Amino acid sequence: MKQRLFLAGATGSIGQSALDILRNMSDKFQLVGFSAHRNLLIAKKIINEFKPEFAIFTHEETYKQIKREKYSDTKLLFGIKEACKIIQNENIDIVLNSIVGGAGLIITHYAVENVKRLALANKESLVIAGDIIIKKAKENECEILPVDSEHNAVFQALSGETNEKIRKIWLTASGGPFLHTKKEDFCKITLSQALKHPNWDMGSKITIDSATMMNKGLEVIEAHHLFEVGYEKIYVVIHPESVIHSMVEFVDGNFIAQLGKTDMRGPIQYSLTYPERERSVNHDFDLFEISKYHLIRPDFERFPCLLLAYKAGRSGLLSCNILNAANEAAVYLFLNKKIHFTSIPKIVSDMLEKSDLRCPTNIDEIIAIHDEIKKKAIEHGEKEYSW
C-alpha cells in the first residue's frame, strides 16, 4: 500500500527535490496534498502532474488566480488552517514540512499530533518551540526524521547508539561565500554576493542565513532538541568541500561521519523511506573528485550570528523565539536592500537585549510572540540601520 504524503512548501527548493523523489518512487508514495505560497506556475505543474486531492494556497492573490481554472481531480483551498485540517482528517501517513521560517510551526504542530512520521526540513519549528514539539511527538508516538543534511547525517551516524554514548556532535558548515573574507571587508558585501553559495542551491532566505552562519546557529538549536544533548556537546566545524555532512564523536574516541553529494534529495529520501534504503535518483558520487578535505574552526568574531544562536539556545525558549524572529526580519530587510549585510547580527542582538516579554507556554503564544518580535525588528531595523 502506498504511503499517503502531504508536502508543505511544495514550490520551494526542498519541495521540488521531494517531488523528484516521488516521481522515482511513485509505487511507494501518493501525494495527497500540498501547500504553496506565491509560485503559481510551479503549483499548476504539480497539480497537472501529480493530481493530488488537495492544493492549499497561503497567498490570497495566488489563490484567487488559480481558482479561475478548473481541476477535476484537485480541490483548491485557501489558508494554512486548511492544510492543518487535511493533516488532521485525511489519514496522512507522512508530512514533509519544507516551509521556510517560523510560518512552518503550525504544520509541525499538527503533524506531531496527527501522523506517525514528520519529515522535518523546517528547522525553525524546533528553534522556537522545540520543547513543546518534542514532548508532543513523544506523547503521540510521531517519529521526527530530520531533512537538514547535517541532522540527517547525525541521525544516520547514531543508528543503534544511545545518547549516553555521545561525546560530541560535529555539525559541518561550508563557511558560505565569505569564509575567507576579511572582517573589515564585510561592510562592502552586496546582496548578489551573499546570494552566491559556493556549494548548495537553496532558497534566498537560507542562502543569506548560510552567509551569516545564522543557519548553522539555528541548526545547533535544532540538534539540541532532536538528539536531546546539551549545547556543550554540539560543535560546529567549517568544512568548505561540504562532503562530510556531519559527524558524531563517541565516548570511546571513535567518530562516525556521513558523506555524500551536495544534493538534498539524499536526506529527503532517507527521511521518507527510513529504515529502508532505496535506490536513489542521486547520481553516483565520486570520492576522488575532491582530493583534499579541510576542517576549520569557526570564527565567532567574523560570524557573530553563530555565537548569538549558542547564547539564545542556552537562555531558553523565549530567547530562541526572539533570535529567529529578529533574524527573519533582518534578512527580509537585507533582501529588500534596506540594510547592510553587517546590520543583520546587530538587529538580532538588539532585539535579544531589548525584550521584556514573558516566556510563552503554548503554540499560540509562541506564534503571537514570534509575529510581534518580527514586526518590531523590522521597524527597528528600518529606523536604526536603513541606508
Q: What's the N-to-C CA distance of the chain in angstroms? A: 57
Distance of alpha carbon 369 from alpha carbon 359, whole angstroms: 9
State which amino acid sits at residue 102.
G
Please give the backbone phi and psi of residue 144, each rounded to the nearest 5 degrees, phi first. Answer: -105, 115
Q: Has this prediction a pTM greater than 0.75? A: yes
For residues 227-255, give the mean pLDDT. 98
Strands 244-250 and 166-173, sheet pairing: antiparallel
Strands (E), the chain: 3-8, 29-36, 54-57, 75-78, 94-97, 117-120, 143-146, 166-173, 234-238, 244-250, 255-259
Strand partners, 5: 31, 94
What is the reported pLDDT for 65? Answer: 97
Fold of 3-146: Rossmann fold (3.40.50)
What is the reported pLDDT for 108? Answer: 99
Structural contact between residues 260 and 142, judged by C-beta atoms closer than 8 angstroms: no
Confidence at 201, pLDDT banded by 50, 70, 90: confident
For residues 232-240, give the mean pLDDT. 98
CB neighbours of 342 closer than 8 A, spacing ≥ 6? 186, 187, 189
**CB < 8 Å & 24+ apart, contacts of 76-84:** 80/35, 80/56, 80/106, 80/107, 82/54, 82/56, 83/6, 83/8, 83/33, 83/35, 83/56, 83/58, 83/107, 83/110, 84/110
Which residue's entry shows cell 484567487?
A: 64
What is the SS3 assignment for 99?
A: coil
- C-alpha grid cell, residue 327: 533574524
Cis peptide before 275 (omega within 30 of 0): yes
Please give the backbone phi and psi of residue 58, each rounded to the nearest 5 degrees, phi first. Answer: -105, 5
| Known binding-site residue numbers for 1-deoxy-D-xylulose 5-phosphate | 123, 149-150, 174, 197, 210, 215-216, 219
| Known binding-site residue numbers for NADPH | 11-14, 38-39, 122, 124, 203
Sheet holding 117-120, edge to edge: 75-78, 54-57, 29-36, 3-8, 94-97, 117-120, 143-146
Strands 94-97 and 234-238, sheet pairing: unpaired
Confidence at 356, pLDDT banded by 50, 70, 90: confident
For residues 288-310, give the mean pLDDT. 95
What is the reported pLDDT for 290? Answer: 81
Q: Which of 164-168, 282-286, 380-384 has the lowest mean pLDDT?
A: 282-286
Would the pLDDT of 373 be above 80?
yes
Kindly compute the dihedral angle of the four CA atoms of residues 18, 23, 28, 31, in this order, to the nearest 10 degrees. 60
Rounded (10°) angle between helices 317-335 and 124-139: 140
Look at residues 267, 260, 229, 220 and name the one whose alpha carbon lies nearest to residue 98.
267
| Known binding-site residue numbers for Mn(2+) | 148, 150, 219
Domain ranges for the chain:
3-146
What is the reported pLDDT for 200? Answer: 72
| Known binding-site residue numbers | 11-14, 38-39, 122-124, 148-150, 174, 197, 203, 210, 215-216, 219
